[in-house]
Chain A
Amino acid sequence: MIQWLNDPGNWTASGGILDQLWSHLQYALFALVVATALALPVGLLIGHAGRGRWLVTVANAVRALPVVGLLILLYVMLAPHIHGRGDTVYLLPTEIVLILLAIPPILASTVAGVENVDPAVRDAAAGMGMRGGQVVRRVELPNALPLVFSGVRSATLQVIATATVAAYLGLGGLGRFVYDGQASQNFAERDAGALLVAMLAVAADLVLALAQRYTVSRGVSGRFSRRTLVGDPVATADAPPSTHTA
């Protein structure tokens, strides 16, 4: 496996590691951006209004959908409708599955983040004459940011690991090495592919950790240091209030 990774030809060839790394990143990034764009505003609204929490329940129920089944269902559904060259017929099912996978952790942790904002802080903001939208943007979002980040990070890990299945539908990405290696008995290639996926996930998590450090207000991160320890966003979101000790 080390030998396979050390061969520069495996990195730079067309369809080599660099190509597939880039594809993998693109599949994941697209899904994460779309999922965040959908889940973050909705989560802020639910947390702010204190209504519509059933949406979180629905999103969590989506987790029960089997990824392979959904991927195959979407491909089979779309295949007869998409003609001509290109990868759209494989990309569409893959991205839909990845987006569906990324939404629940981001939504749940955003809602939990807003709900955990100290009511006194919210009252103070209202007392200063802030309107609803301003409260969301200037008070609730900054305060919820650590939890939002933990949701996005958990979604990122899942999406990067799961983007491996893109290769099952004939797409690229690092999953290509896993599937091709298995199919052609090149087990070094297969295991190297898996390792690269894990490393990409770790690298992405580090980048997000760094981003978190620079975007979360020091007042918040200091105040919420106990909270950020309770890392799993789902555990946090689903956990009963009695365990919230902030």
Chain B
Amino acid sequence: MKKALTSALVAVCATALAACGSSGSSGSNGLSASGGSSASGGGTTIASKLVLGGSPEFKTRTDGIPGLERVYGVTFGSYKTLDAGGPLTINALKNGQIDAGDIFTTDPSIPANGFVVLQDPKNLYAAQNVLPLINKAKASPGVTSTLKAVSDKLDTNTLAQLDVHVITDKQDPAAVAEGWLAAEGLNKTGTAAQGVSVKIGSANFQESVLLAEIYAKALQAQGASVTTRLNIGSRETYVPGLKDGSIDLIPEYSGALLVYFDPKATAVSSADVYAALQKAVPAPLTVLGQSSAQDKDAIVVTKATADKYHLVTIADLANNG
């Protein structure tokens, strides 16, 4: 009955809204197609026929739309402002509101929906290793070694698996964190972080919540007194929060954090990004040892779109279609 009700609602309101929705000035921002310097000369590129969706900041970020144009000569027909690899972007890609999305590579919805991750041969997207961003005052040797032990055990496959538990199976991030720490023997009680009180934050997506819980439980096991402030929002909100002492520690991604602090950064490999990041992070913050787990930005399309236009890499989008 609910379904019938829903579709009736849709039918009635969709008609009524048609006039309202047809105005071109909604979230989509027309990107002038003239800028599309097609790799194969004149004509219309594949990208110019497609709608890209992603976060508000992707529109202006160095490795966002400007990066796609600079590195690959790819200019999409239009850009739809949605969210940072969240439910809006994924649902829009699945249901055809957009043709391509900026989605993160560990997202379980990629394999679940058979989405195709376009390869990035020119390394537009830098390495994105998971690491703790922390207030120096809290980075005692005990805290540092506890978090290093966590980072050493975390790799990309593990992270993707844990994401499946949280996002697909709807398990509690705290319980998933605890389970993994137990499986890795990282929950043994100790005194390394005794006497330290840490306020741990997370960004507003589930993987960040999970990583924050992992840090929290590991530090708790080592005697730290931990409070959490989860789902704070985007980097633009929580980094100032770290600086002013609202929180002390948050899980981060090396490449994105580097570009945040230094928009002109060009480092690509894990080691280079990490080295550049250590220099770029301003006081009173610092980054601790990075894990091998990566969760990168990627341009993702549906299987149907990939097949239709023979898309394998981002560069293919600049071909004539």
Interface residues of A (CB under 8 A from B): 14-15, 19-20, 22-23, 26-27, 30, 34, 76-92, 95-96, 167, 169-172, 176, 179-180, 182-185
A95 touches B25 (CB 8 A): no
Indicate whether B266 reaches chain A with its CB closer than 8 angstroms.
no
> Which residues of chain B come closer than 8 Å to A79, judged between CB atoms?
87, 91, 95
* Of the residues A23, A92, A169, A184, contact of B88 by C-beta under 8 Å: A169
Query: Closest CB-CB distance, B109 to chain A, in whole Å?
Result: 13
> Which residues of chain B come closer than 8 Å to A83, judged between CB atoms?
95-96
Indicate whether B10 reaches chain A with its CB closer than 8 angstroms.
yes
B97 touches A85 (CB 8 A): yes
Indicate whether B83 reaches chain A with its CB closer than 8 angstroms.
yes
The 3 closest A-B pairs by CB, nearest first: A19-B25, A183-B56, A172-B26
* Of the residues B9, B25, B30, B56, contact of A184 by C-beta under 8 Å: B56
B95 touches A91 (CB 8 A): no
B56 touches A179 (CB 8 A): yes
Q: Return the CB mask of B211-247 against A: 1 if under 8 Å, else 0.
A: 0000000000000000000000010110000000000
| A87 and B26 in contact, given A92-B17, A180-B81 (Cβ under 8 angstroms) | yes
Residue from B26, B28, B30, B81 whose CB has the most chain A CB atoms within 10 Å? B26
* Of the residues A76, A82, A176, A185, contact of B27 by C-beta under 8 Å: A176
Interface residues of B (CB under 8 A from A): 6-7, 9-10, 13-14, 16-17, 20-21, 23-30, 51, 53, 55-57, 59-61, 80-83, 87-88, 91-92, 95-97, 234, 236-237
| A185 and B56 in contact, given A15-B25, A91-B21, A170-B27 (Cβ under 8 angstroms) | no
A184 touches B236 (CB 8 A): yes
> Which residues of chain B come closer than 8 Å to A87, judged between CB atoms?
21, 26-27, 97
> Which residues of chain A come closer than 8 Å to B83, judged between CB atoms?
170
Could you tell me the distance between the alpha carbons of A183 and B51 in the complex, rounded to whole angstroms?
21
| A171 and B27 in contact, given A27-B20, A78-B10 (Cβ under 8 angstroms) | yes
> Which residues of chain B come closer than 8 Å to A15, judged between CB atoms?
25, 28-30
A95 touches B236 (CB 8 A): no
A22 touches B95 (CB 8 A): no
Closest to A172 in B: B26
> Which residues of chain A come closer than 8 Å to B27, judged between CB atoms?
87, 90, 167, 170-172, 176
> Which residues of chain A come closer than 8 Å to B92, judged between CB atoms?
89, 170
Query: Closest CB-CB distance, A87 to chain B, in whole Å?
Result: 5
Could you tell me the distance between the alpha carbons of A90 and B91 in the complex, rounded to whole angstroms?
11
A23 touches B97 (CB 8 A): no
* Of the residues B13, B95, B234, contact of A95 by C-beta under 8 Å: B13
B29 touches A95 (CB 8 A): no
Could you tell me the distance between the alpha carbons of A92 and B97 in the complex, rounded to whole angstroms?
14
Closest to A30 in B: B20
Could you tell me the distance between the alpha carbons of A79 and B81 in the complex, rounded to whole angstroms?
16
Query: Closest CB-CB distance, B77 to chain A, in whole Å?
Result: 11
Query: Closest CB-CB distance, B154 to chain A, in whole Å?
Result: 28
A180 touches B97 (CB 8 A): no
Query: Closest CB-CB distance, B28 to chain A, in whole Å?
Result: 8
Query: Closest CB-CB distance, A187 to chain B, in whole Å?
Result: 9
B14 touches A92 (CB 8 A): yes
Chain A to chain B contacts (Cβ below 8 Å), 20 pairs: A14-B29, A26-B23, A30-B17, A79-B87, A84-B97, A86-B21, A87-B21, A89-B92, A91-B21, A95-B20, A170-B53, A170-B83, A170-B88, A170-B92, A172-B26, A180-B57, A182-B234, A183-B55, A183-B57, A184-B61
B56 touches A89 (CB 8 A): no
B30 touches A14 (CB 8 A): yes
Could you tell me the distance between the alpha carbons of A81 and B28 in the complex, rounded to whole angstroms?
21
Could you tell me the distance between the alpha carbons of A95 and B29 in the complex, rounded to whole angstroms?
21
B95 touches A88 (CB 8 A): no
Could you tell me the distance between the alpha carbons of A183 and B14 in the complex, rounded to whole angstroms?
30
B25 touches A185 (CB 8 A): no
| A23 and B81 in contact, given A83-B96, A84-B97 (Cβ under 8 angstroms) | no
> Which residues of chain B come closer than 8 Å to A34, judged between CB atoms?
16
Residue from B21, B51, B92, B234 whose CB has the most chain A CB atoms within 10 Å? B21
A89 touches B97 (CB 8 A): yes
> Which residues of chain A come closer than 8 Å to B17, judged between CB atoms?
30, 88, 91-92, 95
Could you tell me the distance between the alpha carbons of A20 and B16 in the complex, rounded to whole angstroms?
21
B14 touches A182 (CB 8 A): no
Query: Closest CB-CB distance, B47 to chain A, in whole Å?
Result: 16
> Which residues of chain B come closer than 8 Å to A27, judged between CB atoms?
20
B82 touches A170 (CB 8 A): yes
| A183 and B234 in contact, given A15-B25, A22-B25, A30-B20 (Cβ under 8 angstroms) | yes
A86 touches B97 (CB 8 A): yes
B21 touches A170 (CB 8 A): no
Closest to A84 in B: B96
Could you tell me the distance between the alpha carbons of A26 and B81 in the complex, rounded to whole angstroms?
19
Could you tell me the distance between the alpha carbons of A83 and B61 in the complex, rounded to whole angstroms?
29
Could you tell me the distance between the alpha carbons of A169 and B83 in the complex, rounded to whole angstroms?
8
Query: Closest CB-CB distance, B121 to chain A, in whole Å?
Result: 28
Closest to B95 in A: A83
A81 touches B20 (CB 8 A): no
| A81 and B26 in contact, given A170-B88, A183-B56, A184-B57 (Cβ under 8 angstroms) | no
B56 touches A88 (CB 8 A): no
* Of the residues A85, A86, A182, contact of B236 by C-beta under 8 Å: A182
